[in-house]
Amino acid sequence: MINTLYSTKLFWPLLVTFVLLNGFDAHSTYLVMRPYHYHRERNPVARWAFRRMGIPRGIIVFKMVLLAILIPAMIFYSCHDVFTINIVLLVSNLIFLAVVMHNYRVYRKIQKQVKI
């Protein structure tokens, strides 16, 4: 397992997973916040961007800017220290998975309340 963490063969699937989870995060955030429930966003920087640009444009722009900065940085860093970036991506993916699962749970809860 430790040798795998030093491998670029692990880096690319982790990076793809990171991008996919960001896409699911954007989708689940949209579902939870639409049409104008900005108070449900816990990230103050993201909330500011969403209020400023609206939904869904704010979500798309925020995610695109974030990924446009992070992806090249991670690729650059992986050339110098693939072990550390693999650990960072592994932890980030676990956190994003938890966030996405939470968002979809909140969305289901909101849908149940609307039907009542």
How do the domains of the chain map onto residue ranges?
Answer: 2-115
* Mean pLDDT for all residues in the chain: 94
pLDDT, one tens digit per residue, over 2-25 is: 788 899 999 999 999 999 999 999
**Across 104-114, average pLDDT:** 93
Query: What's the rounded Cα separation, in Å, for the pair 77 and 80?
Result: 5
Cβ pair 17, 93 in contact under 8 A: yes
The confidence score (pLDDT) of residue 116 equals 63
